[in-house]
Amino acid sequence: MALEMPEMFGAGLLLLLMGIFGFIGAKFKIPEVVIYILLGFSLSGWLSGNDMLHFIGEVGIVLLFFMLGMEFPIKELIKIAKKVTPAGTIDVILSFGVTSGICLLAGIDLLMSMIIGGVVYATSSSITMKMLESSKRTANPESEFMLGVLIFEDLVAPVMVAIFVALTAGEDITVTSMSLLGLQVVGLIVLAICLGHFIFSKLGPFFIRHLHQDVFILFVVSIALSYGGLALYFELSEVLGAFLAGIIVAEARRTHELEGLMLPLRDLTLPLFFVYFGTSIDLSEGIPMIGLLIAVFIWSVIAKLVVGYYGGQWYGLSKKVALRAGLSFTQRGEFSIIMASLATTEIMAFSSVYILISAMFGIVLFSYAPKISKKLFGNGKGKSGKSHVPEG
């Protein structure tokens, strides 16, 4: 009689495999996101439908967006949003709107077309920032513009997820349902602003006194999970709730210290989200809609090039530096995975292949961006000087 594998033994083996393949990926400069999705896909027979893996992965994604929200107090958000709004608006129109239109013309229904548009929309913040740091380009003039666009996308993305979560739950797309959904989103945002401004802005001394107590991390994580859960209660996305929870806590102005507490927990749980996503990919019937996949991929690269090139010049960058920014924007990652997880099986398979291709291609294009822009525009200096990238 075969013995059933204890869950603890299985968890240990999974983490060991993730660690081994993570080291291999780092050696060959392959993004961890790609490594973990492929690992999950290869282990889908063992891990598919594992509720514990799913829950821990959800905690990881909540902590990711919570920590992202912590980087941006309300005033900072308003300032950045104003500066990159032209580029951010074009980004939404081209990457989300036009992509959705292409899918509609290809015969995909409206909701799934918009979900594919959402998959294509946001550049991967984690891959982009890691590449900027590893390539020592954070001091380049385009890095501030790139960070601003990433922030704009990270503001739009949770709201977009919240809308699609409600729509995929079976609600009809009507004026009434969209108005109600909008009111719920606005209500959650207003509540977050009020909590941050009137309560957490006064808790700085409390944070300083208790920051190094072991119990403090329970307090912080409880805020992230509770506000994320509140969003779920109102049939919105936990991603939006987590991001807003981070904005609330940011008002205490202790972001740097809190990051030190949260990073180990996030780095342990977040990879499991990507592994779980990999287990949900079904390519048993092959890669669906290859022609559309190629068209969407080519358009997604063109759209980001346009956003970077023209948006960068509106921001004040030279043509050379703006092109370098555009060439560095094409990789998709964590947000695209969240969007794809809302899709039907066929669209999820379509989206997962797109994410893998765009992540790998984006890394290559990012690496060659300085050489390509230099070859096209020579050694001319950008209009902007050295940029300041906020710590985080």
DSSP state of 2: P
Task: Find the mean pLDDT for residues 195-205.
Answer: 93
Q: Which residue would you say has higher pLDDT here, 285 or 191?
A: 191
Whole-number pLDDT of residue 121: 95
Please write the tens of the pLDDT for every residue from 382-391: 444 444 433 3
Question: Which residue in the block uniquely carries the two structure tokens 């009689």?
Answer: 1
Residues in the chain: 392
Please write the tens of the pLDDT for every residue from 70-91: 877 777 777 777 788 999 999 9
**Percent of all residues in the chain with a pLDDT value above 70, rounded to a whole number:** 94
Closest CA to 334 of 164, 167, 161, 166: 161
- Amino acid 123 reads T
Closest CA to 271 of 59, 123, 96: 59
Do residues 285 and 105 make contact, with C-beta atoms less than 8 angstroms apart? no
Whole-number pLDDT of residue 250: 92
pTM of the shown model: 0.76
Burial 81-91 (b: 16+ CB within 10 A, else e): eebbeebbebb
Whole-number pLDDT of residue 390: 38
Do residues 231 and 238 make contact, with C-beta atoms less than 8 angstroms apart? yes
One-character DSSP codes across 296-317: HHHHHHHHHHHHHHHHHHHHT-
> How far does Cα 288 stand from its chain's mean position?
24
Query: Angle at the Cα of 99 (from 95 to 103), degrees rounded to 5?
Result: 165
Closest CA to 339 of 154, 182, 90, 164: 164
Q: What is the C-alpha separation between 177 and 321, in angstroms, rounded?
A: 43
Q: What is the C-alpha separation between 203 and 254, in angstroms, rounded?
A: 10
State whether CATH 1.10.630.10 applies to domain 50-173+254-377. no
Q: What is the C-alpha separation between 255 and 344, in angstroms, rounded?
A: 38
31 — alpha (psi -120 to 50), left (phi > 0) or beta?
Answer: beta
Q: What is the C-alpha separation between 101 and 305, in angstroms, rounded?
A: 19
Q: What is the C-alpha separation between 145 and 132, in angstroms, rounded?
A: 12
DSSP state of 288: S
Number of neighbouring beta carbons within 10 Å of residue 98: 16
Q: Is the pLDDT of residue 276 over 90?
A: no
Please write the tens of the pLDDT for every residue from 288-335: 899 999 999 999 999 999 999 999 999 889 999 999 999 999 988 878
Q: What is the C-alpha separation between 324 and 379, in angstroms, rounded?
A: 13
Q: What is the C-alpha separation between 279 and 199, in angstroms, rounded?
A: 42
Q: Which residue would you say has higher pLDDT here, 164 or 200?
A: 200
How many helices (H) and strands (E) are present in the chain, helices listed first? 18, 0
Question: CB-based contacts of 141: which residues, under 8 Å, 6+ apart?
Answer: 317, 321, 382, 383, 384, 385, 386, 387
> How far does Cα 14 stand from its chain's mean position?
24
Tokens describing residue 143: 């890095």
Phi/psi at 379 (5° precision): -100, 20
Whole-number pLDDT of residue 387: 40
Task: Find the mean pLDDT for residues 208-232.
Answer: 92
Q: Is the pLDDT of residue 124 over 60?
A: yes
Q: What is the C-alpha separation between 355 and 332, in angstroms, rounded?
A: 6
Tokens describing residue 194: 């009020």
Domain ranges of the chain: 50-173+254-377
Tokens describing residue 141: 């003039």
Whole-number pLDDT of residue 337: 87
Q: Is the pLDDT of residue 109 over 80?
A: yes
Computed over every residue of the chain, the mean pLDDT equals 86
Tokens describing residue 220: 């912080």
Q: What is the C-alpha separation between 205 and 324, in angstroms, rounded?
A: 43
